[in-house]
A and B are shown apart, each in its own frame.
Chain A
């Protein structure tokens, strides 16, 4: 019975597991207030490295993936050093540019990547159970990470970087660390995907993978590690669940993302916490990068420049943070 379901849905399960790892990669960065979308580029780097070593060099899977992780860690650190001081939208778009650059390299470096057509017949060397175990181990590690001192550190960084700095957190170093960690997780997802699905093409590592992964994090919620996991499962199964909608499926999928980010920015995690809060009669804390995280200190809006040279209008924004803003 269960094994029937398992074999019927094995591809989806595999996709959800790989998706969860990539979603973790996005989530960990977001939770530290580092809005990098570069994960998809590292997904490709990890994937191609593994595929190349396993197929062309006949390496064993684990060292092949290991090299992919190492390479991503190094490039990730490089990227962190280069783009580290960018914030918010600028960082997001710069990392999108990085992803598309990686994609262009993948299209053009035919000897290694197979060019635009991609690689076929990569030996399938991992079982679903093994991948499940990897995801389990990573999840447990993330739980410890979240509960530990570092979890509080990155929380503080996202909430108020200057404050974090002033209480002795080396924000620059922590951001670099997060960058590297996020890159490695993404590469792990890419490497596993390569030897799990046996094909890899540049078009997979494009903008739509960014969209899909963001969707996982947003729907699941970024406030707790399991949001990414739940999000990955939901997003992977969504096409199945929406099969009744036929041609309108993709429209509905996209609409869900918009609705969630606008009206339920804390995703499933927020929902669960709210229900739990109602049951225990306490108010749950807000802790999602997209939710209102700056209740106490709302900075001046309207200064989108990373280095505005003119003095900003003095004084803090007098509009309340939590009180409803006046409608037009």
Chain B
């Protein structure tokens, strides 16, 4: 592995981070393993394609817009599906599983909508949204887009970490993950916090979707699928609900994948995440970094 590969790791790790942070948040706080997350992520890219179809818009307009819409989609899922399930099902496991299945259905719905919109074609965001140029960074080949991706990932992960560790809402979120009943008694509305969590989670997915679609120069309905299981590996590795854990694990997974890519083959690379999931669940189900969700956050 050379320095160029490491740069690659940083870029891929940044995308994984953006994708996994939202997923670990909804799982850790609300016990929602949102398998529609990949579809919401894809929608971020799709929206960017749709609004730039006729006329180019700046990335700095397109991305926040996608974030807001994706956040709202996630909130919608919470309102029409996840919340009713939580209300009805008292048993935690039963409710988690029903939620999981609902999220699979919801994701399939979003994918089907996207297939309709794109007519099953590969589409691309208007390249004028962000003009990609080759540059070099510390003597390594890269693009201005890659630098933007890494910077945005860094910015959003620091913001989210600070939000969770320092703000009163972040404190409430961590408490909600442990004990919604007591939160209610202290004047915190679990429902409102849940909606807010889903919004943040969706918005992060939206940002990641726009950025990956730009980087790959394509959007397609199944853009999010491969990332979903990888994100699961990242979350297990980092500890469910731990944002810092997810960040560290995202880069670790990117490193492991690039490593197998370089020293073994690309086909083995895809197996890394899945193998990792099984091995980790066996030996350290609480994650490599945190002992218990939220304990370190």
What is the interface of chain A, defined by CB distance below 8 A to chain B? 33, 35, 82-83, 86-90, 92-94, 96-98, 100-101, 104, 107-108, 207, 211, 214-215, 218, 247-248, 250-251, 253-258, 261-263, 265, 289-295, 298-310, 313, 317-322, 324-325, 327-328
Contact = CB atoms under 8 A, between A and B. Distances in A.
A104 B271 contact: yes
Contacts of A304: 27-28, 31, 92, 96, 177, 240-241, 293
Interface stretch (B110-118, B121-129, B147-155): B110-118
Contacts of B229: 93, 96-97, 100
Nearest to B107: A254
B27 A93 contact: no
Contacts of B102: 257-258, 261-262
A292 B94 contact: yes
Contacts, number: 196
Interface residues of B, number: 68
Nearest to A105: B271
Interface stretch (B13-21, B198-206, B211-219, B278-286): B278-286
Contacts of A93: 33, 229, 232, 236, 277
Contact of A97 (B112, B178, B274): B274
Contact of B278 (A82, A251, A258, A290): A82
A263 B178 CA distance: 27
A325 B87 contact: yes
Contact of A83 (B80, B177, B240, B281): B281
Interface stretch (B53-61, B161-169, B179-187, B255-263): B179-187
Given A290-B98, A305-B292, A98 B240 contact: no
A82 B89 contact: no
B140 interface: no
Residue picked from A101, A215, A253, most chain B C-beta under 10 Å: A101
Contact of A101 (B101, B182, B274): B274
A313 B285 contact: no
B73 to A, nearest CB: 13
A303 B281 contact: no
Residue picked from B91, B106, B181, B240, most chain A C-beta under 10 Å: B91
